[in-house]
Amino acid sequence: MRWYSFKTIKGSMAVLMEGNTLYRLILPSFSDIEEMLKEDNDGSFEITHVLESDASISLINKIRDYFAGGVINDWGVKPDISNLPPFYRRSLEYVYSIPYGKTMTYGEVAEAIGSPRASRAVGQANRNNPIPLVIPCHRVVGANGPGGFSGPGGVKMKMDMLQLEEANPHKTNNKYIQD
Single-letter code of the amino acid located at 87: F
Category of 14 on φ-ψ map: left (φ > 0), alpha (ψ -120 to 50) or beta:
beta
Q: Can you give the pLDDT at residue 173?
A: 43
Please give the Cα distance from 47 to 89 (Å, whole number): 27
Q: Can you give the pLDDT at residue 32?
A: 77
Q: Can you give the pLDDT at residue 142?
A: 94
3-state secondary structure of 5: strand
Q: Which residues of 20-45 are buried (b: 16+ CB within 10 A; e: fewer)?
A: eebbbbbbbbeeebbeebeeeeeeeb
Q: Can you give the pLDDT at residue 41?
A: 67
What is the DSSP-derived secondary structure letter of residue 138? G
Q: Can you give the pLDDT at residue 46?
A: 86
Q: Can you give the pLDDT at residue 45?
A: 84
Q: Can you give the pLDDT at residue 42?
A: 67
Catalytic amino acids? 137
3-state secondary structure of 30: coil
Q: Can you give the pLDDT at residue 43?
A: 67
The reply to whether the predicted model has a pTM over 0.85 is yes
pLDDT tens for the 179 residues of the chain, in order: 999 999 999 999 999 999 999 999 999 987 777 777 777 666 678 889 999 888 889 999 999 999 999 999 899 999 999 999 999 999 999 999 999 999 999 999 999 999 999 999 999 999 999 999 999 999 999 999 899 888 888 899 999 999 999 887 554 444 433 33
